[in-house]
Structure 1
């Protein structure tokens, strides 16, 4: 249901539901129109019969294509009458020139508007959207002006008949091609100009130029083929001949698609350094196979399967592109293109709304492609009709739940991004951020579970499943699970009370029994502690017990220092006080010292010297660095001022006469004996 990843993974459920709608709807319509084809086997047989008839018509039309074309030529000569083909071409070009002149006048009149819009600084997302909207409006406005001028000229000089109908179809195809090119120009910005920063897709300039040219070739060939077939229909070519020619022109679309798929540029990642979102040879072979299958299904006139494949493959792609455009255009001002980050709430609303519109358009396309009457379908009470209605309701519920989860997740992610720890934030604000980082993930997970359960029950209800027994059974199962999983329940309840008591937060250092470390994260039943030496402990809340939090408010550091009895205690106290002042004035350590270092006095007398005690108060976690620096400074100051540290000494007492006798004996033993 949520956010991020490959577009196919994000919309994996939609094609499945649409498949149910398509299959059930077609079966329902077939049952309503032909009672003999009510069974599935008869329906399949009837479908194959239609495909066979269609292929037979194409085989019949293939050897007659020269005759068909000859008849089209005769029809053209009859419609032209005394008008020569050259004059028709000149008049057509004149209409196009008038349309281009009208477009040029509009662009010249609005040139200052575009210049002013681009001259203004872009400091916010709204400014970026305004520039994109202005450019898109100018491009589409120019195409509309061209269409109005060209169509007005055609109506003024033309006359009703096949030639005028063919000219209108060619002009319509040209206008549609120009509209697509205008949209691609604004979205991709293929030229290496300063306005590349306003591209709606985060593509490198060579890749953007490749896709612009490739899509131009594909859409241009498609528009040319459509205009050709419509023009031939105007001049009376039979349907089988038009179909055969259309399929032959469709091979050109397959060739263009294969060239796009296997071109080296299409495998490049969208952004250098942002991962490889291109595709390898395996994906290329699958895409090539899909292109051939599309053409084959279309050529054998299996239109229900064709429209289903169009929706099942095209819908996730279009949704993925829309998601990418919305996140790129609505990214925060100043962020780099292609930069991964938390999507804004506005981009999520646009993305989810666009997804709902695209899914609705896909449903309409299936209904239209399968010749389904929605009104008649709603009035039927057959199993297929109820299944279709249930699938549509389930799809609406899933889209609504997806929208709700997307908004919840976006708000939670943005709040977590704002609550990240920062060295510039301290005090109450730092504690508030830590609490947000602690509680918000748990709330987000709970919201997801509740949303999934509610949406699942509503989907089952829309499909005709009685959910009351399920709810009752779930209650009984819940009681049984509660008895059987008391430890898990105890862990979850203990975790809730730890959260209510605010016993710890993410990033704090705690100790509980034999476990200690920094809180990295936690789930509903356990907490993860990272020890300072690296090991990660996963501790259930029920086994946590009493918690010692070492990261709250302040820490008092007390040290015992031994000095000799002949040391000057007053001087030692002054030196330690001076060291405390110097530490407080240190730009790095000073902000972490709440009370400066000072000597509290002589704590006790020992065997080797006096023991004095020092004390200071610091922020949690900073005491270790400050204590090491303080010890080094105390050692240096004491050495410089004659204050000696007390160290153990061993003294050996002995009798002088015994020592002299023992030494004499050693000398005698060491002397050599006299020769006999």
Structure 2
């Protein structure tokens, strides 16, 4: 119909333009007709039924210009009259709308104050009319008596049902040994017994009431029982399940006995007051009295908000304790929410009072009569406590910590926070849907129409929420995998920690997962951001085209960067190095400390950090892959038996291979390789062993200690560097004077110093 209306308006505009262009001709035609028939025909022209396109064309074809002009004026006058009646002229600005809301806000309580002196009188008239409608006081007492009988029967049947279902309730577990599962089982069974009893009570009084009361009486009794008996009892059952005011050992929330009893009592009172408000408003309407006559609804509704403010202010310490919970891993955000929660409840109550006052001032009370504002306020107030519930569930449902140590604890806390954030988004979405349904708004239909900025904004937020959940799920999965890989790897040995390179690296997943996480999360952010922007009605095609052009520009202008990235991808595919491995990259040696999409960082065993782009790497030598062979050399005097040294090495290798501290580190035991060479000092004996990367330094240290001990036990000394000075013609060295000995020592020292300098130059 919108398109058809615009077509009709265009046709009428063209006709008006034609009329203005041919005004002289119209006057001549009017003179010929004598000016009498035209007015009569104009006033008698009506819109055809049905109003189709063909009918409009036919009507316009047989109408004169004066008739078209008069019809257009009549329609404009009707629109102006309608706007004047509603008080909202076309083209209302923002300030005019704000003024309308302000008038609606203050006029409603002002009107209630003005009518306050007549409240008792008007309410008395409503009650009097109700009494007369039911046949006087006797009729009312008869109805109340029959209602009491129905209630008595309902309570009796409920009592029998509770006795029959008593076996459902297991015995109360001891307070000092009750687990969470046992406590939940006891509370849930008790709650289900109460709900079952309430259902039996409801159906019993419904059947008995229909048998004892007529339709007119049921119109009064049914809301009274529902709002003043059923709702408070249901709220009390839910409150007992959560707060357990008389069973502190089974309490699901962090509250002491005083605040648990206080909140339980006042929550039931709040539900009773809210039900009485809805019942009183409905009673007046059924009695034929307008809400504007007594304004009792305004005062009772305001009392509900004041009661909520009273509860929040009086129990603010208990509410803070409730929101803190018992989770030891609370964050600063959780602590801030806990401290602000009582004031948040007060703000929600005050804000809802303002909203309801404005809606009532504007005359939009249909949804208020259904209690939509109470539903909204309930979910807004309960949402932070649901967050506390999520934290409690995550504490018990999160997978156990993988491994031990600070790294495992950090990963465990990160996992918990991810679960909590996912739960918060889901709860926020559910709460918004429930609030929308209470106001008769279907989110699916609302977004499918895609009309206006409001619907697009909702779809935008929903897209961001879905993207955030996907972001957290992917991050959670990768972080758990990374934590498992990192905590399952062997700890860094003391020798590597103090600066010796060559330790064992991490797994391949531990190297690739950080890059995968960065790439995946970046892709999710970009994709869902573009999708969310598209839901706002913005064409993302130019953004995609601009991104492509920008990518080409970066590709041509930063070819070295592209080379580094591509080279890094192939190095990772080839598994050339991993985080923690000791490598040699073009003469630069160090442990792989960090990798990115463009470069790698090597930390030398002396502490220097080298950043090397992948594009400049031609060859990588890995010293930490699979196994390590270490060769040790010992110099003994020339008169030492090599076979004896060989047996000592073999003995040491067998002992260490049987030692529980080293048996899992050896791939091949320590053994002798015989005589390597002769030098100026003595015989150089060499031994070797094969071990797992990262363990060779501890093994080497232990071998040194054991060789020194075995040599001492077998009378073998390590060769020392000596300088022998031969003096021709000196046959009696024992006859040298002190001066001659000092001269010889000085000459020998100079010779040793010269030899050391020559060896240094060769190195």
| TM-score over 0.5 (shorter chain) | yes
For residues 537 and 131 of structure 1, the distance between their equivalents in structure 2, rounded to whole angstroms, comes to 63
**Within 5 Å, which residues of 2 pair with 1:45-60?**
45-60=99-114
Report the counterpart of residue 263 of structure 2 in structure 1: 214
Report the counterpart of residue 393 of structure 1 in structure 2: 459
Decide whether the 8 Å contact of 2:323 with 2:337 is kept in 1. no
Question: Which runs of no fewer than 5 residues in structure 2 stay unpaired?
Answer: 1-82, 365-371, 403-408, 492-503, 742-763
Deviations 1:592-632 (A, max 9, x none): 10000001000010111111111000000011111101110
Describe the SS at the equivalent of 2:335: coil
Report the counterpart of residue 644 of structure 1 in structure 2: 717
Describe the SS at the equivalent of 2:196: helix
Report the counterpart of residue 243 of structure 1 in structure 2: 298
Q: Which of residues 230, 245, 249 in structure 1 aligns to 2:279?
A: 230
Question: How big is the shift at 1:44?
Answer: 2.5
The change in CA–CA distance for 1:116 and 1:264 in structure 2 (over 3 A counts) is closer
Question: How big is the shift at 1:576?
Answer: 0.8
For residues 565 and 183 of structure 1, the distance between their equivalents in structure 2, rounded to whole angstroms, comes to 94
Decide whether the 8 Å contact of 1:61 with 1:241 is kept in 2. no
Report the counterpart of residue 55 of structure 2 in structure 1: none
Report the counterpart of residue 227 of structure 2 in structure 1: 172
Decide whether the 8 Å contact of 1:568 with 1:643 is kept in 2. no
Report the counterpart of residue 707 of structure 2 in structure 1: 634
- Does 1:416 pair with 2:482? yes
- Does 1:283 pair with 2:350? no
Question: Which runs of no fewer than 5 residues in structure 1 stay unpaired?
Answer: 1-29, 426-430, 667-676
Report the counterpart of residue 623 of structure 2 in structure 1: 550
Higher mean C-alpha displacement, 153-162 vs 473-482:
153-162
- Does 1:577 pair with 2:646? no
Q: Which of residues 335, 345, 351 in structure 2 aligns to 1:294?
A: 351
Higher mean C-alpha displacement, 405-414 vs 446-455:
405-414
Report the counterpart of residue 405 of structure 1 in structure 2: 471
Describe the SS at the equivalent of 2:577: coil
Deviations 1:80-117 (A, max 9, x none): 84459999888766655544444444444444455499
For residues 443 and 624 of structure 2, the distance between their equivalents in structure 1, rounded to whole angstroms, comes to 67
- Does 1:148 pair with 2:148? no
For residues 630 and 183 of structure 2, the distance between their equivalents in structure 1, rounded to whole angstroms, comes to 54
Report the counterpart of residue 317 of structure 1 in structure 2: 384
Deviations 1:180-218 (A, max 9, x none): 44445545666657766xx5xxx44639x8468536624
Alignment coverage as a number of residue pairs: 612
Describe the SS at the equivalent of 1:617: strand
Decide whether the 8 Å contact of 2:232 with 2:271 is kept in 1. no
Deviations 1:447-493 (A, max 9, x none): 22222222222233332222222221111111222334445434432
Report the counterpart of residue 8 of structure 1 in structure 2: none
Question: How big is the shift at 1:639?
Answer: 0.5
TM-score by length of 2: 0.67
**Within 5 Å, which residues of 2 pair with 1:262-661?**
262-263=317-318, 265-266=320-321, 269-271=324-326, 273-275=328-330, 277-279=334-336, 283=340, 287=344, 290-291=347-348, 293-294=350-351, 296-298=353-355, 300-301=357-358, 317=384, 320-321=387-388, 323-324=390-391, 327-328=394-395, 330-332=397-399, 340=413, 342=415, 356-365=429-438, 368=441, 385-422=451-488, 434-512=507-585, 518-519=591-592, 521-527=594-600, 540-542=613-615, 546-652=619-725, 655=730, 660=735
Question: How big is the shift at 1:377?
Answer: 9.7
For residues 538 and 98 of structure 1, the distance between their equivalents in structure 2, rounded to whole angstroms, comes to 85
Deviations 1:40-98 (A, max 9, x none): 33332332332243233212222223324433554565558445999988876665554
Q: Of the two structures, which has the highest relative contact order with CA contacts closer than 8 Å and spacing of 6 or more?
A: 1
Question: How big is the shift at 1:301?
Answer: 2.4
**C-alpha root-mean-square deviation of aligned residues, in Å?**
4.9
Decide whether the 8 Å contact of 2:391 with 2:420 is kept in 1. no
For residues 255 and 248 of structure 2, the distance between their equivalents in structure 1, rounded to whole angstroms, comes to 10
Describe the SS at the equivalent of 1:591: coil
TM-score by length of 1: 0.74
Higher mean C-alpha displacement, 218-227 vs 611-620:
218-227
Bigger-Rg structure (1/2)? 2
Question: How big is the shift at 1:310?
Answer: 5.9
Question: How big is the shift at 1:421?
Answer: 3.6
